[in-house]
Each structure stands twice: as structure tokens, then as C-alpha cells.
Structure 1
């Protein structure tokens, strides 16, 4: 499994990478634009990510914008909705507006509040068939 983590906080990047490292090949970037660039490059190289974890609050391009750009890249590549990369929003901004936007506009499969519970994250990945 390949996972891309997009979060501007280096501690969160390290924490999530350590949780997922034993189970996946993990790439991490610290901005929305870097996430979009990494995602696009991986898709062009035929080495797609199975999942992306995206923080909402980031300077410049926020997590919602980042996920919308990723979904645009997938559409432009001809991927259908059922073939989209699994997206999990990871944020302390867990109000109804942000949660709804993540699911209904971004197509996220899950929304996890920070601080992330490692067992909950791994459970979500298993629930959606991303971890054995």
C-alpha cells in the first residue's frame, strides 16, 4: 500500500508516518501544493497512491482545496469515482461544516479528529480494505 500524508505540522507528519510505516510505503509533504504535485507525479508514473491523509488547516492551499485539486487530477486522467484514491481528512477542525465538506465535496471516506488515535486510523484503513 502507498500512502501520501499532507500536513504542514512536522510532528503530525512524523506521528502519522510512524503509525503507517510498518504497513505501507509512506510519502509525506508539508503543503497542499506539494501534495498535489506528488499525487500528480505518482499518477503519471503509474505508481498511484492507495490513500491520502490530508490536514484541513494549512497555509496557502488548505486541505479542502488540496483534495479538490487531487479529485480534478483523477477526473482529468479518466478515473471514475469508484476508482478514486481513498482520502482521509485528519484535522482538529471537526465542526459539521468541515466534516460535511470533506465527505460531500471532497469525496473523503473518513474524517479523523486530531490527535489521531493510531488504532482508529488503522481500523479505518482496514474497514475500507486498504490494510489486510
Structure 2
């Protein structure tokens, strides 16, 4: 499995990276623009990510804008909904209704969200739900 972590908080990034390394290859980005660039490059090289852990409040570009760009790229490439990257929103915000913009835009396109500090047991359940297991 190929995983992308888009997280500007060092502690959260390290926790996610250590935990997810047992599930597959992990790449890390620290801002929204970098996350979009890495995601697009992976798609263009036909090596797409299976999962993205996406923070909402990031520098350069917030997570909702990242999500919009990711979904637009997938749509433009004709990627079917069952083949789209699975997104797990990681945030210090309380719930999707607290995300920037509005609830409909925030929730659309996300599979799950976890509030910080990240509960690794909940993350494990989400991964298992999608059929991902430790290597």
C-alpha cells in the first residue's frame, strides 16, 4: 500500500508515519502545495496513493483546497469512485462542521476524519474497513 501524509504538525506527522509504516510505503509532506504536487506526480507516474491522511489547517494551501484539487484531478482522469484515493482527514477541529468553508463542501469527498491527538486504534479500524492490513 502507498500512503501519503500531509501534515504540518511535527508530532502528529511522526506519530502517523511510525504507525503507518507497518501498512506500507509512506511519503510525508508538510504543506498543502507540496501534498498536491506529490499526489499529482504519483498519478502521472501511474503509482497512485491508496490512502492520504490529510490535515485541514496547513500552510500554503488548506486541506479542503488540497482535497478539491485531488478530486478534480481524479475526475479529469476518469478515475472511478472505487479507484479514488481514500482520504482520512486529520484535524484539530472538532468535527466536519468546523472545517473551513461549509459542511457540505468539507464532508464531500472525504471518507473519514480523526481529531487530534490521533487515536491510533480508530485509525486502525478505518484502515481495516478499507481492507488494508499490516504488512
TM-score, with structure 2 as normaliser = 0.89
Matched pairs, number: 130
Structure 1 CA distance, aligned partners of 2:126 and 2:110? 12
Question: Is 1:76 matched up with 2:76?
Answer: yes
Cα displacement (A) at 1:118: 0.9
Cα contact 2:3–2:52 (8 A) shared by 1: yes
Please list the CA deviations of residues 52-82 of structure 1 after superposition, one character each: whole Å capped at 9, or x if unmatched.
0100011221011111111111112111222
Runs (5+) with no aligned partner, structure 1: none
Q: Which residue of 2 aligns with 1:56?
A: 56
Please list the CA deviations of residues 72-127 of structure 1 after superposition, one character each: whole Å capped at 9, or x if unmatched.
111121112222100010001123242944322xx111010100011111111101
Find the residue that maps to 1:67 and give its secondary structure.
helix
Cα contact 1:89–1:102 (8 A) shared by 2: no
Structure 2 CA distance, aligned partners of 1:84 and 1:102? 17
Find the residue that maps to 1:48 and give its secondary structure.
coil
Divergent runs of 4+, >3 A: 99-102
Structure 2 CA distance, aligned partners of 1:123 and 1:24? 16
Cα displacement (A) at 1:128: 1.8
Cα contact 2:88–2:112 (8 A) shared by 1: yes
Question: Is 1:110 matched up with 2:131?
Answer: no
Cα contact 1:90–1:112 (8 A) shared by 2: yes
Q: Structure 2 residue aligned with 1:130, among 128, 132, 135? A: 132
